[in-house]
Structure 1
């Protein structure tokens, strides 16, 4: 299972990196086991680059939870870290996106794989670090090619800290 993490507001933490590291340690509390994670990637806020910069990464996790239960678990962690849902693409303390749940394809209230992740370098770049040959279950493209062709967040760069 693939989870994307992002933050552009540190909340009560000393930095966005500290907040994201704490979010990773909270995964087991909701039934998710971290297998591996990417470096952190920095990029301008999107769609308004005047906002605070984002720090993003990807985690590979395992779980016995269903896709819907997994998304609910991720929302539980977001709430714990002060995520307030409101305006789309607004600055936020923590954003946890379920990118893929195995090879599951869903097109309902929950869409899997994530409908826009394949076009975001700040998701596909970190994923390509971990699993460059991962193949998108709908478009059939590997992560390394999706990263190379992503059109959103083209300024995203690894800050190479793990």
Structure 2
């Protein structure tokens, strides 16, 4: 499961257009999109004075292992000119590996499930949109439950369901 986010459109007409292009780039990186949410809007975090974010979630299938999946996502970010020079800075593209099946991984380079995704409505809301019954591998709570309990990004709202684009 991959969370997507953007608050800088870069060379694209909008953040939504950039995110659509990023979704389209995933198969070339070995990640087949099985399902995806609509785009959600939320204030910048942690500084709400920054440009608004667009976020979504994609369920992907891959033959890559978890570490290789993370590296593939970083490669796609680089294609979209993602810069990592300042934590929580505005960005063209943010791709986070949220979960990899039911695996629990804690290595210096990868922690799964993502250690803070369950707190974020801009992640759990889109996930609950497409897989409300998904269960967090550690907490045992569903995506719908976690979305209802989120404490970060609580202003996140669905812009338009996929069927109404």
> Could you tell me the TM-score, scaled by structure 2's length?
0.96
Q: Which residue of 1 aligns with 2:44?
A: 45
Q: What is the alpha-carbon distance in structure 1 between the residues aligned to residue 77 and residue 106 of structure 2?
A: 23
Structure 2 SS opposite 1:58: strand
Mapping of residues 145-156 of structure 1, within 5 Å: 145-156=145-156
3-12 or 100-109: bigger deviation: 100-109
Q: Which residue of 1 aligns with 2:137?
A: 137
Give 5+ residue unaligned stretches, structure 1.
none
Q: What is the alpha-carbon distance in structure 2 between the residues aligned to residue 134 and residue 36 of structure 1?
A: 13
Shift of 1:161: 4.8
Structure 2 SS opposite 1:6: strand
Q: What is the alpha-carbon distance in structure 1 between the residues aligned to residue 22 and residue 65 of structure 2?
A: 20
Q: Which residue of 2 aligns with 1:14?
A: 13
Structure 2 SS opposite 1:100: coil
Q: What is the alpha-carbon distance in structure 2 between the residues aligned to residue 5 and residue 47 of structure 1?
A: 17
Q: How many residues matched?
A: 161
Structure 1, residues 61-114: CA drift from partner, whole Å, max 9, x if none? 000000000000000000000101111100000000000000010111200000
Structure 1 SS opposite 2:24: helix
Structure 1 SS opposite 2:28: helix
The answer to whether the aligner puts 1:71 opposite 2:61 as a matched pair is: no
Q: Which residue of 2 aligns with 1:36?
A: 35
Shift of 1:56: 0.1
The RMSD of aligned alpha carbons is 0.6
Q: What is the alpha-carbon distance in structure 1 between the residues aligned to residue 139 and residue 94 of structure 2?
A: 25
Mapping of residues 83-122 of structure 1, within 5 Å: 83-109=82-108, 110-122=110-122
Shift of 1:47: 0.2
Q: What is the alpha-carbon distance in structure 1 between the residues aligned to residue 81 and residue 14 of structure 2?
A: 14
Shift of 1:123: 0.1
Q: What is the alpha-carbon distance in structure 1 between the residues aligned to residue 124 and residue 52 of structure 2?
A: 18
Q: What is the alpha-carbon distance in structure 2 between the residues aligned to residue 14 and residue 3 of structure 1?
A: 23
Shift of 1:3: 0.3
